[in-house]
Every structure is written in structure tokens, then in C-alpha cells.
A and B are shown apart, each in its own frame.
Chain A
């Protein structure tokens, strides 16, 4: 697979700066000193196996969770110390597409996609409807605006979620597992929509995924996370050429090697 749409020349401005982030859920250490930079205009893919901490990192960047330690700056705002108002002002410039679409169940698709404009702008109802339709058309969804979320398939919900994420022309777009649960054809279509959104709107995009093909197709740079740490960050070619055993296992879809201590195993079974 070849990379399309290389990042624009403004790639050097750092829009997201993660430094020394440690995060826990209760006693469980999820992230253990993560450093990461996302440059303006690039598609950064954060990859890792399930449970590696990549979704937690995404939630930290969005301010939905606070880290135990460390700093996260998004467009110059220190997210870990921002008050509610500052956080909301920042989020008006962000777009987030959640794994299942996260459509508000009591609103129609059209109302869902229009929601950021309805809440944050003084645009009239007709203009908002036209913009929402335009974004839905960009995502290949026609004539769904009067339908309820429960009437849409998983793939359509993800595309509607993406339409809602870009309706306010955000500066940074976040994706949480865009291809999860989709058939291969729909997954490829969604990847195309992501690239289209970047082309059309000059977006910076952060994608969290464990889908290798998708990552290779859309990424300008990939950050591989394992056991709460960033193993390596680089372009697709740099990641392919990595000497790290875990990265090579992931690229070649080799299961992780586990060495079992017989005594410890017996202890676990019989305790």
C-alpha cells in the first residue's frame, strides 16, 4: 500500500505536545511516561494492541480525563490545568469522531450533525441545515437527516459522526478506532473520507487505531504504543524499518511470544 496526500509544508508547527504523561485507572498504570508531538497539517496515527493505552491517551488530549503526572498542550492550551471555560473554548476548535459514532439517540441525524452549529453560532436554521447536508454528502450520506440513529448501520453512524466532527470546520480532528467493527470495504471507504476531509479542510488529524492497513494508508507519521509507552514514532517507512521486535511482530502480525514460568503458572491456577 502506498501513502497518499503527503503532509503540507506547515508540518513543523507543533499543535499537540505531550510530555511525560503518566495515567492510571485506580491502581492500574495505563500510561507510563508518554512523549508525543503532533505537527500542523499531518495525520498522526497512534497504534497499538488492545489495552496498550492509546484510547486513554486520546481522552487525555481531549481533557476528558486528567493524567496523574505530565503535561499536555493542545494549540497552546495546557489541557491538564485548563478551567472549564478555557477547555470549552478549545474544544470549539476541535472535532471528535467516537468509535460508535456517539450520536445523541433522541435527535435525528440532521439535528445531531447540526448540533455544534446550533449551540455555538448565530446562523439561521436554513443555513445550518444546508451546511449539515453538505457535510453529510461529503461523507457519502444522502437523505438520512430525518432518520434516527437507531435506524443507521454501524458504518453509516461512523460517517455521520465524522460529519458532525467536521461541521464546525475544526482545526484538529480526533478519531477513536474509525475502522473498528467495519467490513473491509466500508473501512477503506472511511479511510478515503478521512483523507478527503484532510485535503478539503487542511486539517490536522489524530487517529487512534489498531488496524494496520488503515494506519499505513492514511498516516503521515505513526506512534506505536505498547504497555503504556511510546516504542517509536516515525513515518511509515521508518516504522517498517524499525529494529524493535514488538513493532516487527505487529507489522507482520506475529503473536506475542510469552515465556511461562511453570511454578508461577501453577501458583496462579491453584491459589
Chain B
């Protein structure tokens, strides 16, 4: 009997510890969400209030936007080609292959352009941003800014937010254009569809609401990517498991990329639902 009570006590102890750990984890995530939200609000407030300095913003547009052009061109081209390839196979069965231009255009403008361009930027610029700011945190550079009475939200984060919001729609537009060209090479060049039919279909199907949807998505995605990746690096020192140094930066970067992916996909669904 005594042994049974002992075993019960062990199980109860393990259960209580498990519940405590789960509660602790939940509280940590709530706290981090709050801190990330405050960080976003402070950075946006600094971005919209003077003094404004264009040079840091231009530097960020160059880093996030200009230096991603090759990745966007390559991924956009192949995306357009694959979309045309896949749609051609289906449209042929229904005898509506002339609608290939519409299909490629609508897919790219409404969904694939904004989402895939965002995923490319997350992988390249988002991860680099998180690593850079995380290393600044562990190297005491952010503390140094604070001690020089320089607001790190204004100095570091606001230019990145503005740069991201400006760059993302431009990159998305580039992705779509290159995707359309890629689709042209497959549809017209490979499968012999009429070029006029390809572009006319696109012209007839893609309306202003579709373009508006793509534009709104790209702006929101740009904001989400820069916010999440910057915040993960900036708040590295509050990491729950205390990992600092190289491991902390690595972990924060991985989390930033994964969280950004999920946030983009979630926002994509919400915007599509609202605007459809």
C-alpha cells in the first residue's frame, strides 16, 4: 500500500511539474508577444515622426531590395515557367489552352508573386537582419547606443521597417513581371500558344482588384518580415533558455525565419478572405 502511494506521489509530482512547465512556457510566449508588439509600435512611431533621415532608409532599400534582385529574377522566372507548364497540362484536357495567360497572370498577381517573393526575402534579407541585430545585441552595441542616448528603435529598426515596406512591393512587381515572361517562354515558345492570346487573356482577366490585393499583401508581408526578424534579434537577450552567443543568434534566426513564414502564410489567407 505504501509503495502504491509512493508511486502515486511520483506521478502527481511529474504532472505538477509538467503543468508548471507548460504554464511557464505560455507566460513566456505571451510576454515575448507583448514585447514584440511594443517594439513594433515604438519603431513605427519613430518612423513617422521627425527627424527623418533618408540615408539609413536608402541603405536598407539597397540591402533588402536591390541586393535581392537576382534571387527574385531567378525564382520568378522558374515560378512562371512551372505555373505555365502545370496549367497547360490541365487546360489542354478541357480544350481551353487559350486561357493560359489568364491563369498565369492571376496566379502570379494574386498569390504566387506576393507570397513567393516574401519567402525569398525572408530567406535572404530576413535571416541576415535577425543575425545582424542579434550580434549587435550580444556585442553590447545596442547597449552602447542606449548609453549614447541614441534610441535604437529610431536608429536601427525604423529605417529597416520603412526599407522593407518600400522594397517588398517593388520586388513583388519584379517577380510577377519576370514570372509572366517565364510563362511566355513555356506557353508561347514551348507549347506554341498564340502570343496575342497569352497576353490578351491576361489583360482580360487581371483587374485592378487583383493588383490591389497583390499590392496590399506585399506591403503587409514586408512589414511582417522586417518586424519579426528585427524583433527576434533585438530581444535575443530575453531568450527563455538563456542561449547567448553564436548558438543564441543561430536559434533566434531559425525562429525568426519560421515565424515569418507562418506569419506570411497566415496574413495571405486573411487578406485573401477579406478581399475575395
Contact = CB atoms under 8 A, between A and B. Distances in A.
Contact of B143 (A88, A92, A98, A164): A98
A225 interface: no
Interface string B134-159: 01100111011111111100000000
Contacts of B144: 96, 98, 102-104
Given A96-B144, A98-B144, A104-B144, A119 B139 contact: no
Interface residues of B, number: 15
A102 B141 contact: yes
Contacts of A96: 144, 147-148
Given A102-B140, A105-B135, A119-B148, 8 more contacts: A88-B149, A89-B149, A98-B144, A100-B140, A104-B141, A106-B132, A115-B148, A164-B148
B146 A103 contact: no
A164 B145 CA distance: 11
B136 A105 contact: yes
A91 B146 contact: yes
Contacts of B151: 88
A91 B136 contact: no
21 contacts: A59-B143, A64-B146, A64-B147, A88-B149, A88-B151, A91-B146, A91-B147, A91-B148, A96-B144, A96-B148, A99-B140, A102-B139, A104-B141, A105-B132, A105-B141, A115-B150, A116-B148, A116-B149, A116-B150, A119-B150, A164-B148
Interface of A: 59, 62, 64, 88-89, 91-92, 94, 96, 98-100, 102-106, 115-116, 119-120, 164, 174
A36 to B, nearest CB: 19
Contact of B147 (A62, A99, A120): A62
- Would you call the interface of chain B mostly helix, strand, loop, or mixed? helix
Given A105-B135, A105-B136, A91 B149 contact: yes
B56 to A, nearest CB: 10
Interface of B: 132, 135-136, 139-141, 143-151
A136 B140 CA distance: 21
B141 A92 contact: no
A104 B147 contact: no
Contacts of B136: 104-105
Nearest to A104: B141
B143 A102 contact: yes
Given A104-B136, A105-B135, A105-B136, A120 B149 contact: yes
A62 B139 CA distance: 17
A229 to B, nearest CB: 25
A91 B144 CA distance: 11
